[in-house]
Amino acid sequence: MKHAIKTDLFASRAPLEWAVVGNGTLYTAQIPIDRQGQVVSGGIEAQARQTLDNLRHTLEAANSSLDAVTQVLIYVTDRSYLAIVNALYTEYFQAPYPNRAAVVVAGLAREEMLVELVVYACID
């Protein structure tokens, strides 16, 4: 059985939940939006930080933390952004780090987005 995690993130108009738990695993995709649903300005650093902050908020809403994350899939729209995301990543995660992959894509769902994270975490 699955259940949604209630967060204070912007309520999307799309048919989605910010996080769903099923069989002890939390599934979430995070994007660089603020509380009003706007993509944050300031380039990749600001967007990556907002995305990671949204992830932290979502995990806390599930009574969990970044330590529970087992895998992260990073999507960026430019290869040069990976160095910035990596630098911020180490501010949020500690060893042992989650397994991860990074993919450079032509674009994301909202044109102004530069980064998106798909994350899996173990939830007790």
pLDDT for 63 equals 98
The CA distance from 112 to 54, in Å, is: 17
Report the C-alpha gap between 35 and 94 in whole angstroms: 27
9-31 mean pLDDT: 96
Model pLDDT, residue 120: 98
Q: Contact at 8 Å (CB) between 87 and 49?
A: no
Dig out the tokens for 98 from the structure: 């989650």
Rounded Cα gap, residues 22 and 19, in angstroms: 10
Beta bridge partners of 76: 104, 115
What is the band of 118 on the pLDDT scale with cuts at 50, 70, 90?
Answer: very high
CATH homologous superfamily of 2-122 equals RutC-like (3.30.1330.40)
Residue 124's pLDDT is what?
Answer: 76
> Where in the chain are the domains?
2-122
